[in-house]
Amino acid sequence: MKIAWFDAPSGISGDMTLAALLDLGASGGFDSQRLEDGLACLGVDGWRLESSETSVDGLRARRLELIVDEGVTVRRDWSSIRSLLEEAPARGFPAAAAGIALSIFEKLAVAEARVHGSTPDEVHFHEVGAVDSIVDIAGVAWCLDRLGIERCFCGPLPAGSGTVVCEHGTLPVPVPAVVELLAGFELVAGDGQGETVTPTGAAILSALAVPARPVFTLEACGSGAGSRQMDDRPNVLRILLGHCEAHDDEQVIAIVADVDDMTAEAIAFVAERLRGAGARDVSVVPVGMKKGRLGNRLEVLADVGTVHELAHLLLTHSSTAGLRFRAMGRVVLPRRVELIDTEFGPVAVKFIVRPDGSETAEPEFDDLARIALQQGLAFDEIRRAVLASLPGSAVSD
């Protein structure tokens, strides 16, 4: 599975992300001219891209500048942007890229609505609705689709410091929309000068990335330069492209959520949905929460290839408002499952090879439960009988 790792010690913005992906374009067979040709399908006129290589504190990076024709000013609400992107595939824009761009803009709309106490359809984007942000977001989506990137991950983000002046006045950094978008992500409080993570950059991560550190094989790296000079670090975003096993016994991603307002039946329902969707395991542990309330912690072990789907299920079917992620290494003993003939018929048995070379065995629960119901016998009686029928070298775990 092809993945992208966002390395953002200086922060992230839309133009930095697009510049870094264009820098990776050399390995993907495209450049800024091909990107411009692809974005022309959006039907948004009056702009052009200037791409150049630069040096930021001794680091090579790509700088991208969007030139908007004089007199072109665009203000769009979420409804008009959604229509533009939904109609883009009919004009030749890749459908997968349009879907990615829609998901990013939707995250922005929801965050802005929460901040301003309105609904997403009522949100009128200010800076976000301008030509540059439409090009940034649609361009990022186009590049990700062209590069064949299936999953995105990121490390800790600098929260920035101070204030920033925008259409709503002077706001603290990180601005409220960024705070909404980065729930569940790792932030380093007070790290960085000024605004380090913009709403567009935060929306890209919120829609596409998991805050975890997977093990992957590095293939290429693209670097995008920010427009502002920083005194304490190079203002560069790196995107590392690599391959990662979608299903790997040596690493999993833990998805964690705490809830205090779900019934036992509702928790059991979401746990079964998660297991049915491919979770390695789902555990529920009682925890003490704020104001003395008792709650439950749901922890889902997911393969890298299923983490997005399982996170979506957990957010859909539980009452949690946010999730936490962490990558976990695993040590897994060799195992195999054999179908064993017994006096009750075939039973699946899992054999595990221990470090000293010995084997332990355990009959599969579903087979034991089925036989116990059919025969009217105790579960433990069936289990003992099955284990007794195994070769003497296989001992119960």
Contacts of 285 (CB under 8 A, 6+ apart): 296, 297, 299
How far is residue 192's CA from residue 381's CA, in Å, rounded to a whole number?
Answer: 65
Element (H, E) at 324: strand 324-329
How far is residue 223's CA from residue 238's CA, in Å, rounded to a whole number?
Answer: 4
Residue with tokens 């091909």: 34
Query: Does one domain contain both 22 and 166?
Result: yes
Query: Does one domain contain both 11 and 82?
Result: yes
Query: Does one domain contain both 37 and 106?
Result: yes
Has this prediction a pTM greater than 0.95?
no
What pLDDT shows up at residue 96? 97
Query: Does one domain contain both 288 and 307?
Result: yes
* Range(s) of the domain holding residue 354: 335-396
What pLDDT shows up at residue 392? 64
Q: Which residue, 367, 334, 366, is CA-closest to 351?
A: 334
What pLDDT shows up at residue 73? 63
What pLDDT shows up at residue 127? 47
Query: Does one domain contain both 94 and 239?
Result: yes
Contacts of 335 (CB under 8 A, 6+ apart): 350, 351, 352, 353
Query: Does one domain contain both 266 and 374?
Result: no
What pLDDT shows up at residue 321? 84
Contacts of 108 (CB under 8 A, 6+ apart): 125, 128, 177, 181, 199, 200, 203
Query: Does one domain contain both 184 and 71?
Result: yes
Calculate the alpha carbon distances from 139 to 10, 23, 77, 149, 177 in Å: 21, 13, 19, 14, 22
Q: Which residues pair with 347 in a beta bridge?
A: 340
Query: Does one domain contain both 76 and 156?
Result: yes
How far is residue 336's CA from residue 329's CA, in Å, rounded to a whole number?
Answer: 21
Query: Does one domain contain both 347 and 220?
Result: no
Q: Is 290 exposed, middle or buried (0-12, 13-18, 19+ CB in 10 A)?
A: exposed
Q: What phi and psi values does residue 297 have, to the nearest 5 degrees? A: -105, 120
What pLDDT shows up at residue 36? 93
* CATH of residue 296: 3.30.70.1380
How far is residue 397's CA from residue 386's CA, in Å, rounded to a whole number?
Answer: 13
DSSP per-residue string spanning 267-278: HHHHHHHHHHTT
End-to-end CA distance of the chain: 35
What pLDDT shows up at residue 23? 95
What pLDDT shows up at residue 132? 84
Query: Does one domain contain both 59 and 185?
Result: yes
Indicate the SS3 state at residue 390: coil
Question: Considering its fold, how many domains does the chain have in total?
Answer: 3
From first to last of its 397 residues, the chain has per-residue pLDDT tens of: 999 999 999 999 999 999 999 999 987 788 899 999 999 999 888 889 999 999 999 999 999 998 888 766 666 788 888 999 999 999 999 999 999 999 999 999 899 888 878 778 777 665 444 788 899 999 999 999 999 999 999 999 999 999 988 777 789 999 999 999 998 899 999 999 899 999 999 999 999 999 988 889 999 999 999 999 999 999 999 999 999 988 887 789 999 999 999 999 999 999 999 999 999 999 999 999 888 889 999 999 999 889 989 999 999 999 998 889 988 878 888 889 999 989 999 999 999 999 998 999 999 999 999 999 999 999 999 999 999 988 764 554 4
The last residue of one of the domains, among 329, 349, 384, is 329
What pLDDT shows up at residue 128? 47
Query: Does one domain contain both 324 and 387?
Result: no
The last residue of one of the domains, among 296, 312, 329, is 329
DSSP symbol at 232: S
Helices (H) and strands (E) in the chain, counts: 11, 19
Query: Does one domain contain both 34 and 148?
Result: yes
* CATH of residue 370: 3.10.20
Structure tokens, 319: 């009452």
What pLDDT shows up at residue 393? 44
The last residue of one of the domains, among 329, 348, 372, is 329
